[in-house]
Amino acid sequence: MKTVILIGAQGKMGKAALTGLGDHKVITASRSGKGTDYQVDITSHESLRALFKNVGAFDAVVNAVGHCEYANFVDMTAEQWELTVQSKMLGQINVVKIGLEYINDRGSFTLISGIHNVKPIPGSIADATTSGAIDTFVQCVANELPRGIRINVVNPTVLEEAWDVYGPMLPGFQPVPGKLVGKAFQRSVDGFINGKVLFVDA
């Protein structure tokens, strides 16, 4: 059994990830802290450092959160770009950079991207750009992590559990059940793969 920190545990993607972590001790965290063990803001170095210090020894970090703003490119404001880049991209890089100081030898990180970098839709420019950046980051940084530490990223399509919210934006897309996405997180945490983009699509 591993000790796994799950960030974004209260969201639909976090709950999907949780379905694949049943064999482990899971410590949950979220931005609000409501219903989870800890509160954390991945855009804050201080908040992440406090989380990792308070948890103590752990074997894996699963991040299932990254805020994205949606608008057409010509309408996207600098503030919307900043929010998306700080959360979806730099926030996840922070998780790895700071987490490296605390994670056990031969531990693992699993990040989240999203299908829009390979199947873009109108208004998804910021999500597509930052998801592509995270996919690339993971493939590159896997070659640089010390102490046998691994890293992967789950790149899912829309969840069945979120179809009522996102379905109107995604004509022609087939949603997948959260448990299927959970299997991808499980492969990352429990396997030996490293530097992989785990696509979950219909």
Residue type (1 letter), 10: Q
Cα distances from 111 to residues 43, 137, 175, 177, in angstroms, run: 14, 10, 20, 19
CA angle 178, 183, 189 (to 5 degrees): 125
Number of domains in the chain: 1
Report the C-alpha gap between 197 and 117 in whole angstroms: 12
Domain holding 100, by residue range, is 3-200
Q: What angle do CA 146, 147, 148 make, to 5 degrees?
A: 95
SS3 content of the chain, % helix, strand, coil (to 5): 45, 15, 40
- This prediction's pTM: 0.96
Residue 60 is given by DSSP the state: E
Residue 93 belongs to a domain with what CATH number? 3.40.50.720
Residues in the chain: 202
Query: Tens of pLDDT along the chain (202 residues)?
Result: 999 999 999 999 999 999 999 999 999 999 999 999 999 999 999 999 999 999 999 999 999 999 999 999 999 999 999 999 999 999 999 999 999 999 999 999 999 999 999 999 999 999 999 999 999 999 999 999 999 999 999 999 999 999 999 989 999 999 999 999 999 999 999 999 999 999 999 8
Burial of 159 (0-12, 13-18, 19+ CB in 10 A): buried
CA distances from 108 to 48, 54, 115 (A): 16, 19, 22
pLDDT of the residue at 202: 87
Q: Give the burial string for 60-84 (b: 16+ CB within 10 Å, else e).
A: bbbbbbbbbbbeeeeebeeebbebb
